[in-house]
Structure 1
Amino acid sequence: MPKTQETVLEIDLNALKHNYQHLKNKVHPETKFLAVVKAFAYGSDSVEIATYLESLNVDYFAVAYVSEGIQLRDAGITKPILVLHPQSVNFETIIERCLEPSLYSQYVLNAFIEVAEAKKQQNYPVHIKFNTGLNRLGFSEKEVTQVSDRLLKTKSVKVASMFSHIAASEDLNEKAFTLNQIQTFKNITQEFKEQIGYHPMMHMCNTSGILNYPEAHFDMVRSGIGLYGYGNSEKADAFLKPIATLKTIISQIHKINTGDSVGYNRAFIAKRPTKTATIPIGHADGIGRQYGKGKGFGVINGKKAPFIGNVCMDMIMLDVTDINCQEGDEVVLFDKKTTAASFSETANTISYEIITSITQRVKRIFLK
């Protein structure tokens, strides 16, 4: 690729294909694959990513909110779309746009059935979420009979899947806890199937679950972060390719005298003659104020230049004292080699946060 002349996020669709195929090969051929494209497809572009994955014949998509599902339907996505955290105010829209809700509490279960019956639906697909230990969303084990009784009283909906979420699938120190979650899910779903009289799909594994717990692949697996190139461990990362490269340029170089300050609140005071580079990206683009003051860096001509001072809304200053560079040179914040995981570690956070934070103000370029 030619050097950039502005701030861009390059998305490598070949890397996406590689990650999808790698993860797909980890499961049985008959096991369905759900691609999680919430949060603007983890900060890339949900429409472009979903369209490409649909061409690769992914089985299902998942989003967090109804608005995200609407965007995919408006773009022509036809595969089933699971809405993981729907709100009752959007239930009519869910049906109108052929989205499939996760029903995780008595309130949302009853509210959705009420809307489905009012719209004279028959066997509308819904997904029942059970809480097996994450304690975030989901019916408890003791609610199984109450849920099944309610479902048996209506013909407006039919359960497409039963699912849960592993709390620590990437942490093998928590293997005992995870195995207990898996067994709890098996117990719940066995009871639930017997009570409703049919066998919906079962799914529990996220990316790390796919890699670490093949016994829990069941009928479908879900992958989010893995598709975008991160596997939550060095071992897993070795087989994945980050799809996103965030790069920009040096707008201006300054020579700072000893004792002079840089940026807002004089957050950096030069202890020696210092050369700084200002780049056109800031917290309005997703590089938050937890970075700066030595946290975060850009790679210029193969060398790391740490952020200095506070991150500004539209600009960041880097220390390039010991780097041979000039205005207009390319600055890479993260890519396949210097990953978002290593960038985020400088501020004690995770790859998920930085890649999903890159705002839509940053121009996306898709490499096919």
Structure 2
Amino acid sequence: IDTGMNRQGLTLEQAAALAQAPDRLRGLDIGLVLSHLGSATQPGHPRNAEQLAAFRRVRDLFPEARASLSSSAGAFLGADYRFDMVRPGISLFGGGPEERPDPRLRAVATLEAPILDIRRLAPGDPVGYGVSIRAEHATRVAVVGAGYADGVIRAARRSGKAWAAGAHRRIYIVDMDLTVVEIGDADLHPGDMVELLGPHALLDDLAAAAGSIAHECLVRLSPRAERLYVERALAPI
């Protein structure tokens, strides 16, 4: 049911017309009434309450069906929004319900890549294509073996952070197959792994650096990135 996103689903009027047409309902097994919130990442937005009220009206039209309104963000708005079923997505991977890190959640997806080379830069040295990105001071950088062909969002350059040797490291550039990360005097060597996404390089932080959302950071991960699925028992928070 479209309760206000104007994207998919029956309108409220169409749902009411269907509920009042026994001849049409006779051939349907309606087990679930479903809608989606458009502003759940902003808990105080009035649109949430408006959609909730609209959804309640529609649910009453199909009392035998289960009801589901909320995905990850909506589930955090409170019990009124959860109904019979919620559809957690991004928060299963650690993405915050308000598009920022949330201490109640743990990172699940981790993207790591090895250091291929370490180079020294002098002040003003350009990094990568063009000359718009330059070293601001003498430093060392690590050339990491993953780039936007693997799913690292190119727009995260300059302000994005990777994690290596126990600290956040600035991402200088993201090319097709390589990412260059400033490491200063850190004790790092070719072959050492750099966390580009994970428990330290948080999903929502990467998304913010790229001007995007956590969902895009995950769905961009390409088949070229090797998948390793680990089953782990986690203590409750």
Q: TM-score surpassing 0.5?
A: yes
The alpha-carbon deviation at position 330 of structure 1 amounts to: 1.7
Instruction: Give 2:168's aligned amino acid.
Output: K
State how far apart, in whole Å, the 1-side matches of 2:16 and 2:172 are: 58
CA contact 2:119–2:140 (8 Å) conserved in 1: yes
Specify the alignment match of 1:56 in structure 2: none
Instruction: Give 2:201's aligned amino acid.
Output: T
CA contact 1:341–1:350 (8 Å) conserved in 2: yes
The alpha-carbon deviation at position 283 of structure 1 amounts to: 0.7
CA contact 1:170–1:212 (8 Å) conserved in 2: no
Which structure carries more strand by proportion?
1
The alpha-carbon deviation at position 151 of structure 1 amounts to: 7.3
Cα displacement string for residues 5-63 of structure 1 (whole angstroms, at most 9, x for unaligned residues): xxxxxxxxxxxxxxxxxxxxxxxxxxxxxxxxxxxxxxxxxxxxxxxxxxxxxxxxxxx
Specify the alignment match of 2:182 in structure 1: 319
Pairing 1:74-93 to 2, within 5 Å after superposition: none
Specify the alignment match of 1:215 in structure 2: 80
* Higher RCO structure (Cα 8 Å, ≥6 apart): 1
State how far apart, in whole Å, the 2-side matches of 1:259 and 1:231 are: 38
Query: Could you say if the C-alpha distance between residues 339 and 178 of structure 1 is closer, same or farther in structure 2, counting changes exceeding 3 Å?
Result: same
Residues 1:297 and 2:161 aligned together: yes
Query: Could you say if the C-alpha distance between residues 276 and 236 of structure 1 is closer, same or farther in structure 2, counting changes exceeding 3 Å?
Result: closer
Instruction: Give 1:136's aligned amino acid.
Output: R
Cα displacement string for residues 238-297 of structure 1 (whole angstroms, at most 9, x for unaligned residues): 2222111111111001123344322122342334333221111111111122122x1222
State how far apart, in whole Å, the 1-side matches of 2:187 and 2:209 are: 24
Query: Could you say if the C-alpha distance between residues 199 and 312 of structure 1 is closer, same or farther in structure 2, counting changes exceeding 3 Å?
Result: same
Residues 1:136 and 2:20 aligned together: no
Instruction: Give 2:222's aligned amino acid.
Output: T
Specify the alignment match of 1:246 in structure 2: 111
State how far apart, in whole Å, the 2-side matches of 1:264 and 1:150 are: 64
The alpha-carbon deviation at position 326 of structure 1 amounts to: 1.7
Specify the alignment match of 1:353 in structure 2: 216
Specify the alignment match of 2:57 in structure 1: 187
SS, match of residue 184 in structure 1: helix
State how far apart, in whole Å, the 2-side matches of 1:328 and 1:235 are: 31
Pairing 1:1-368 to 2, within 5 Å after superposition: 130-148=1-19, 152-153=23-24, 156-174=27-45, 176-190=46-60, 192-193=61-62, 199-233=64-98, 237-292=102-157, 294-309=158-173, 311-368=174-231
State how far apart, in whole Å, the 1-side matches of 2:123 and 2:199 are: 36
State how far apart, in whole Å, the 1-side matches of 2:88 and 2:129 are: 41
Instruction: Give 2:37's aligned amino acid.
Output: I
Specify the alignment match of 2:234 in structure 1: none
Query: Could you say if the C-alpha distance between residues 151 and 367 of structure 1 is closer, same or farther in structure 2, counting changes exceeding 3 Å?
Result: farther
TM-score (norm 1): 0.57
Instruction: Give 1:159's aligned amino acid.
Output: I
Instruction: Give 2:31's aligned amino acid.
Output: A
Query: Could you say if the C-alpha distance between residues 308 and 314 of structure 1 is closer, same or farther in structure 2, counting changes exceeding 3 Å?
Result: same
The alpha-carbon deviation at position 304 of structure 1 amounts to: 2.1
SS, match of residue 249 in structure 1: strand
State how far apart, in whole Å, the 1-side matches of 2:145 and 2:36 are: 39
Cα displacement string for residues 154-212 of structure 1 (whole angstroms, at most 9, x for unaligned residues): 754321211111222232221x331221111111232x33xxxx622111122222222
Gaps of 5+ in 1: 1-129
Identity of aligned residues (%): 24
State how far apart, in whole Å, the 1-side matches of 2:9 and 2:77 are: 23
TM-score (norm 2): 0.86
CA contact 1:261–1:269 (8 Å) conserved in 2: yes
State how far apart, in whole Å, the 1-side matches of 2:16 and 2:104 are: 43
State how far apart, in whole Å, the 1-side matches of 2:193 and 2:101 are: 30
Instruction: Give 2:24's aligned amino acid.
Output: K
Which structure carries more helix by proportion?
1
